[in-house]
């Protein structure tokens, strides 16, 4: 499967396979799931993937929070160690 976040439509079987790989510790599968969730605007799944350790999910959430100027969300993401959120929060609070 080619990594292409602009194509959010994957079969359920492909999604399930990615999930199994991610559950087994495969970071590329976790990143692919994050890209797919981002393309689908699935914030819930992005938060779940962040909880599982996906930095890319955190970056996608930070991008959304920056666009919305959502300071509490940026603070939460900064506390999770997402550098983009830390930098944006610092910039917005100056």
Kindly give the confidence (pLDDT) of every residue in the chain, 94 residues in length, as a single tens digit, with 9 standing for 90 and above: 334 444 556 788 888 999 999 999 999 999 999 999 999 999 999 999 999 999 999 999 999 999 999 999 999 999 999 999 999 999 999 9
The total number of structural domains in the chain stands at 1
The confidence score (pLDDT) of residue 12 equals 83
DSSP character at residue 6: T
Considering the domain boundaries, does residue 29 fall inside one? Answer: yes
Considering the domain boundaries, does residue 68 fall inside one? Answer: yes
Q: Record the pTM.
A: 0.85
Return all residues near 75 (Cβ < 8 A) that are at least 6 apart. Answer: 85, 89
Considering the domain boundaries, does residue 1 fall inside one? Answer: no
The confidence score (pLDDT) of residue 9 equals 67
* Domain span holding position 62: 12-92
Closest of 66, 74, 25, 22 to residue 35, by C-alpha: 22
Considering the domain boundaries, does residue 6 fall inside one? Answer: no
Considering the domain boundaries, does residue 2 fall inside one? Answer: no
Considering the domain boundaries, does residue 5 fall inside one? Answer: no
């Amino acid at each position: 499967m080619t990594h292409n976040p602009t194509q959010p439509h994957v079969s359920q079987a492909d999604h399930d396979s990615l999930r199994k790989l991610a559950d087994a510790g495969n970071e590329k599968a976790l990143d692919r799931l994050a890209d797919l969730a981002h393309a689908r605007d699935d914030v819930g799944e992005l938060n779940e993937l962040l909880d599982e350790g996906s930095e890319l999910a955190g970056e996608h959430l930070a991008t959304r929070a920056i666009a919305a100027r959502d300071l509490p969300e940026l603070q939460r993401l900064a506390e999770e160690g997402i550098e983009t959120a830390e930098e944006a929060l610092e910039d917005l609070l100056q």
